[in-house]
Structure 1
Amino acid sequence: MPRQFFVGGNFKMNPISRGQKATIISTLNSADLDSATEVVIAPPSLYLIPLRDIVRKEIQVSAQNCYFKDSGAFTGEISPAQLVDAKIPYVILGHSERRSLFHETSEFVAQKTKAALSSTLKVILCVGETLQEREAGQTASVVEKQLQAVVDVLQESDWSGIVIAYEPVWAIGTGKVATSAQAQEAHADIRKFLAQAVSSATAENTRIIYGGSVTAANCKELSTQLDVDGFLVGGASLKPEFVDIINAKRQ
């Protein structure tokens, strides 16, 4: 079975006024979207439920982060159980901004991934290397180390709930984009690693999406690569061109 194309929109902590929220959702609700593509949007947690209630049912809503405990004295955190109770199906974990700015280790990301999956959330698991690591030829080893921490705490069956987002750190919000060949190489390496570390079936079935300055101008070429199963979009997800990215696979 071919892997279903997946496009996620990560709104990050960008401000969304009532008017902007209405415009973004109105654009998505009225757009002619490729029904073969799974679409998920990830607004700041303040807007999760309001957007869930007004966006068209074909578009799912994701949290941008969660903790690994279901409850307790963890001020400022949001739990997997709370997201499930709010009927939020997805969560983004391991984003490079969480790793670099908030010092989340791969082991901590793995712990959160296990907790999210155990609560029946689906996970968009982010991995990727810095520019220094890429220039040193360490892309594959860095990404494999990030993934190995997750492999170590999961069962093979858990991987059906994971979408891997390969996001080279040097391409996030910089305007620099991995070439289609670079993206394909990294995605193929991830698939090869999954085959060795988990199983060939997991490698074949797991969707691996690309993130890093994806726009309407570059999404078509990226989408033609064999192992690129979609995108995790940042800034462009707040613009009308997000519709074009969602429709990247449409002929």
Structure 2
Amino acid sequence: MRKKIVAANWKMNLTLAQGEQLVNDIIAAGIKLSEGQEVVIAPPFPYLIKVKQLIRNYPGIYLAAQNCYSEKSGAYTGEVSAEMLQSIGVDFVIIGHSERREYFSETNAQLAKKIDLALANGIKPIFCCGEPLEVRKAETQNAYVAQQLQESLYHLDAAALKNVVIAYEPIWAIGTGLTASAQQAQDMHAFIRSQIAEKFGREAALGITILYGGSAKPSNAKELFSSPDVDGGLIGGASLVAADFTAIVQSF
């Protein structure tokens, strides 16, 4: 049975005190997780060690970094390596978020290197893929996402793929006023799973967790998560409000 995951991506938000309060409020909500359900929290880099301390006694809650660099080590001022993340107990790392692709021009080839380094250090990548508005309008989203998968994941074998989580981001529905329906989310998730099946086999496809990263919130989470190929969410803005985030988690 594949994992069900709700991941909180804080992005570049909150002070340390605010982040600590947010985690404490989430814990205080007493979320009940069933077997196979996980919560992942991805704070900014400076807060990783503190959040790890706060969640260490709560099974089912894991720590993620929002990024890592595509080289093992060296003269890369300001970057953070997968080995560094492993050394402080990071469990997951977000790779290829749409904002990293757009604002920092990250390529599929660079992301493949990040995937390899994360896996080599025992960290599970949350690999993000998804299409912008012009691609959706042209109705070429399947080919666009397939290329992202091919160029960043298809060099792996099925054993390595078991440690990868995929997050589908309909970029055209994030901050644009447009909304992706549960059916549109399900259709793309099913397509992604079909591509994994074609490359890695049916067992790998049935086992991989695919999250929805398109502005999920308490009002639509239950409908989204009830779709057969949607295994949870990568949550942005709603993860900054404890009540909203816990409501989404409880929508499993």
TM-score for the superposition, normalised by structure 2: 0.94
Amino acid at match of 2:46: L
Corresponding residue for residue 126 of structure 1? 128
Q: Quote how far apart the aligned CAs of 1:32 are.
A: 2.5
CA offsets, 1:134-165, max 9 Å, x none?
A: 11111111111000012332122111111100
Amino acid at match of 1:79: S
Conserved? CA contact 2:3–2:231, under 8 Å = yes
Amino acid at match of 1:51: V
Amino acid at match of 1:41: I
Q: Runs of 5+ in structure 2 lacking a partner?
A: none
Q: What is the count of residue pairs matched by the alignment?
A: 247
Amino acid at match of 1:57: Y
Corresponding residue for residue 28 of structure 1? 26
Match of 1:246 among 227, 236, 249: 249
Map 1:1-251 to 2 at 5 A: 1=1, 3-18=2-17, 20-36=18-34, 37-55=37-55, 56-58=57-59, 59-174=61-176, 176-239=178-241, 240-249=243-252
CA offsets, 1:152-194, max 9 Å, x none?
A: 3212211111110001111224454310100000000000000
Identity of aligned residues (%): 42
Conserved? CA contact 1:5–1:38, under 8 Å = yes
Q: Runs of 5+ in structure 1 lacking a partner?
A: none
Partner Cα separation in structure 2 for residue 248 and residue 177 of structure 1 = 19
Amino acid at match of 1:209: L
Conserved? CA contact 2:154–2:199, under 8 Å = no
Conserved? CA contact 1:10–1:43, under 8 Å = yes
Partner Cα separation in structure 2 for residue 177 and residue 82 of structure 1 = 38
Conserved? CA contact 2:96–2:127, under 8 Å = yes
Partner Cα separation in structure 2 for residue 122 and residue 46 of structure 1 = 20
Conserved? CA contact 1:215–1:241, under 8 Å = yes
Partner Cα separation in structure 1 for residue 3 and residue 66 of structure 2 = 22
Partner Cα separation in structure 2 for residue 156 and residue 177 of structure 1 = 34
Conserved? CA contact 1:7–1:230, under 8 Å = yes
Q: CA RMSD in A?
A: 1.3
Q: Quote how far apart the aligned CAs of 1:23 are.
A: 2.3
TM-score for the superposition, normalised by structure 1: 0.95
